[in-house]
Amino acid sequence: MNPIVMALRGLYGVWLREITRATRDRAQLIGGISRPLIWLLILGVGLNPYFRGEVYGEVRFVIPYTYLQFLFPAVIVLNIMYTSIQFAVSVIWDREFGFLREVLVSPMPRWLILLGKVLGGATVATLHGALVLILARFADVTLSLEQVALALLLMFILAFGLTSFGVILAARVRSFEGFGVFSNTVILPLYFTSSSIFPLDPALTRAQQAVTYPEWLVFLVQINPITYAVDALRGVLINFNQFAPAMGVGVIVAMAVVFFVVATIDFARQ
Amino acid sequence: MTSPQPGPEAQSLSAIAISVDGLSAAYAGKTVLDNLTLEIRRGSSFALLGPNGAGKTTLLNILSTLRRPDGGSARVAGADVVRQQTEARRSLGVVFQDSSLDDRLTAWENLEFHGLVYGMAPKRRRERSAAVLALVELEDWRDEIVRSFSGGMRRRLEIARALLHEPQILFLDEPTAGLDAQTRVRIWRYLDELRRARDLTVLTTTHYIEEVEGADTICIIDHGKIIAQGSPEALKAQYGSRWLHLTPRDQAALEAIQAARPDAQPLGAHGLALPADDGAMTDAFLATFRDRLVEVRFQDPTLESVFLSLTGRQLRDRADDQHNADKAAGRRGGRR
Amino acid sequence: MKGGRNRWIQPAINLLITVALLTTLSFLPPDTSLSDRQKTGVLKLCVPPSYPPLVTGDPQQPGFDIELGGKVAAELGLRLAVNTLSSIGTDFNPRNWSLTRGQCDIIAGGVADTLQSRSFLQTIPTPIETGWVGVSKSGQLPAAGGSVVVLPGTSGLDRLKLSGWLRQQSRQVIPARSPQQFAETLASGRAAAGITERFLTAGMALPEGVTPFWLDEAQFPRFRMAFGLWKGDQTLKRAVAAALQRLEAAGDMAALEARYHIETIEEAP
């Protein structure tokens, strides 16, 4: 029998299992719905008046978009981050409840098993990110088909990288109990320092950014890879970049490659 | 690396299903397997018997390519478990001691997953899934989520799953624990049929003597070494003793018997067990103490008594301890 | 295979419910800008005193933006109140126009849909284009070394780029402070050509024989003129945009464009 066909069947099997499990997990779906609602409907609308112009020319942050539009791509990234990194729970689950061994004694090579798992997790995370797109109307983000397609592609690559990151975390976390706390201490700081809910003023030079915000905060934002992922999605969805547009795509792809390679090495050691 | 390895095809025709040569393994500086060598014939039923920490699970893990040996080599269906992992895995079906089902999937989905991972074509997958579900009589449960299954049902499903891809060799780690007697008998009957029809080789580890009685070969290991190997009858003949179980009338009688026969073993609160292989000696003993006994019974050799005389330990009493210890070891192992 | 298909029904239902819920919620109004206007019944349009042909100051033909504003207000069931503020356009920095939300709902009469404008306002483009235009008798700019009079205007075009380009072409630049000065410089012949915003040519008395023409579009992109709304006034913006679309579909927009002769630059009065 053709070994490539067999490998693809295995890949599909591992992927399908992740998808099937996700459809049985209502808590995850509810999280995927409630996060965009909280961040976009409540935080976005709540802070909107503070970011809007009341006097022509007196806007402090001259981002050429409304706050809701600004927030919109970041909420997509947040939803992807949560779902991707929570994917580690699935990995820990497999390990703790013995299912992992069923896969490990199968003829599939380990990297292929991991690829299937990560693809599955990334698919689910991308879907959760796409849920936010439904709210585009609310945030006044007008989307063309090409924009949606390009955004979904970027979202998937980002989800792939973050899911691999989740696998790396899982290899280092001992129990479920710790993971809930742990994931929040990873996700939320990454999210808040990604220029997601406040812009670094793009109209100003780098020296002036540090005047607006303390240097340490600007530094944190600049070393955070999620910053560039958010920026890439902003480029696609609202035509706005704070950094060089190629940078965002580059960082997303680099994360996907590096994290997957590290995760493969980790996984092969099990 | 082009040394001519006999392909699995060629080897599968040979009479040896599993060969283990000088296998050693250590865990945390402690020797678990000590220069172990054994051969398992194709189509045979081979049982590994041993107390806690004897190295059975480690051996099984090495044979199923989950763990690398620290020395020696092992071949499964002709494939080296280190260098030809994929070939080795393809020929194996494994039923683990702890459930390795996905309990968020249905029975059918678990089988479907297994079939896909083993690269089976859709039609064959469906046919085989239906066949193995029928074997373990879970057809009515095919679309139920595994989480709602009882322990016995899970076990049956796992055995069905291990047989799905028609492996040449089946590993059963404590296979029928928690199954009712009927199911156990049926599964063993089916496995025996498969052995005859398809030359399936079955390697079992167990605490249940009843299960081992049906095996062609029993291998007793302790401290990572083989201490005895042979058919159940041969082992009983070679190592099994006939015992005389008796209950003395009172404490004075008990003390008198112990004084007369220093080889008497305590049995329960008031009983004693005497080696009864020597007929003349037994007759003399009974003639002397007949009036001071309440109950007398001859115990023929069993595998349990074989085990007892070989290791000086009971097997069954340790079952629960061992299960827990193995479970903990499995978790540690899985994490690394 | 009954189970094989059934297992996807429940997840599909869940997903449908999710999509329906989110879609429904996306129709929630994110602010009160429209409902406030509906409460008062008035839509306030801020314009400069004159920016022909968008704002003329002539009661018979008040201007494209003002008439369009009136139609939009009618579509929304509101009364249009035009606030003529002389501060608009007096300075190239909109900050100094000192417009507030209290005075204006919509700012029109010279807002171009540029990045600069969008930094302060959200814009709904109208079909009219603006950009740098040259004016000369020959219909082109003089060769390198020639003099050009420049009136930058206030609609937010990129003046830095223009001056850089002119310097690179080593043309003499004569800055003009007002349309009158621009026209006089041209008439006197001190400059062979002039460069200004498209709509500033409409309001000035150009010398005989001088015609406007677009500068190279690759170098100097044209922009749509726009209605400017305050950032965050999402509901009002949506309502205005929808009203404009209806007007466009009904042909009112084209009729207005014909009335003010602003389809092409050559037809400008």
For C135-168, what is each residue's pLDDT tens digit?
Answer: 888 878 877 778 888 888 766 677 778 888 888 8
Q: Least CB-CB distance to C230: which of A44, A53, A138?
A: A53
Interchain contact, B108 vs C6, CB within 8 Å = no
Residue closest to C103 by CA, chosen among A53, A62, A50, A67: A53
Q: Which residues of B touch A270 (CB under 8 A)?
A: 334-336
In a domain, B277, yes or no: yes
What Cα–Cα distance (Å) separates residue B143 from each residue in A61, A207, B136, B148, B149? 57, 63, 15, 11, 12
Q: Which residues of A touch B64 (CB under 8 A)?
A: 105
Q: Least CB-CB distance to A56: which of C97, C233, C234?
A: C97
Q: Are residues B231 and B276 in the same domain?
A: no
φ/ψ of residue C102, rounded to 5: -65, -35
In a domain, B317, yes or no: no
Mean pLDDT of chain B: 80
Q: What domain range includes position B249?
A: 241-300
In a domain, B47, yes or no: yes
Residue closest to C201 by CA, chosen among C151, C256, C142: C151
Q: Least CB-CB distance to A105: which of B65, B101, B104?
A: B65
pTM of the predicted structure, to 2 decimals = 0.78
Average pLDDT over residues C169-180: 84
Interatomic CA distance for residues C52 and C41, integer angstroms:
28
Residue closest to C196 by CA, chosen among C157, C227, C168, C164: C157
Say if residues A156 and A54 touch (Cβ distance below 8 Å): no
CA B138 to chain C, closest CA, distance in angstroms equals 14
pLDDT at B10: 45
Interchain contact, A52 vs C107, CB within 8 Å = no
Interchain contact, B96 vs A102, CB within 8 Å = yes
Which amino acid type is present at position A77? V
Interatomic CA distance for residues B27 and B62, integer angstroms:
13
For B88-114, what is each residue's pLDDT tens digit? 898 999 998 888 899 889 999 999 999
In a domain, B313, yes or no: no
Q: Other C-beta atoms within 10 Å of C193: how many?
A: 22
Burial class (CB in 10 A: 0-12, 13-18, 19+), B263: exposed
Interatomic CA distance for residues C34 and C239, integer angstroms:
8
Question: C132-214 has which CATH code?
Answer: 3.40.190.10
Interchain contact, A97 vs B66, CB within 8 Å = no
Contacts of B201 (CB under 8 A, 6+ apart): B17, B18, B40, B41, B42, B43, B44, B45, B46, B168, B169, B170, B195
CA nearest to A138 within chain C = C26
Residue closest to B232 by CA, chosen among B299, B175, B306: B306
Q: Strand locations in B138-253, DSSP E?
A: 169-173, 201-205, 217-222, 225-230, 243-248
Domain ranges of chain A: 3-51+62-268
At residue C93 the predicted structure's pLDDT band, cuts being 50, 70 and 90, is: low
Q: Any idea what the CATH number is for the domain that residue B253 is in? A: 3.30.70
Q: Are residues B111 and B194 in the same domain?
A: yes
Q: Any idea what the CATH number is for the domain that residue B180 is in? A: 3.40.50.300
Query: Where, residue-wise, is CATH 3.40.190.10 in chain C?
Result: 33-130+223-259, 132-214
Instruction: State yes or no: pLDDT of C123 exceeds 70.
Output: yes
Size of interface A-B (CB pairs under 8 A): 94
Say if residues B99 and A100 touch (Cβ distance below 8 Å): no
pLDDT at A161: 96
Residue closest to B164 by CA, chosen among B114, B199, B123, B117: B114
CA nearest to C7 within chain B = B143
Chain A CB within 8 Å of residue C21 CB: yes
For A171-220, what is each residue's pLDDT tens digit? 887 777 777 777 778 888 999 999 888 877 655 444 445 557 777 888 89
Instruction: State yes or no: pLDDT of B294 exceeds 70.
Output: yes
Burial class (CB in 10 A: 0-12, 13-18, 19+), A60: exposed
In a domain, B134, yes or no: yes
List the single best residue of B104, B125, B140, B143 to mutate versus C (max C Cβ within 10 A). B143
Q: What is the ipTM of this complex?
A: 0.85
Instruction: State yes or no: pLDDT of C3 exceeds 50.
Output: no
For B144-160, what is each residue's pLDDT tens digit? 999 998 888 888 899 89
Give the architecture-level CATH label for domain C33-130+223-259.
3-Layer(aba) Sandwich (3.40)
Q: Which residues of C touch B108 (CB under 8 A)?
A: 3-4
Residue closest to C238 by CA, chosen among C37, C19, C23, C82: C37
> How many structural domains compose chain B?
2
pLDDT at C181: 86
Interatomic CA distance for residues B171 and B176, integer angstroms:
12
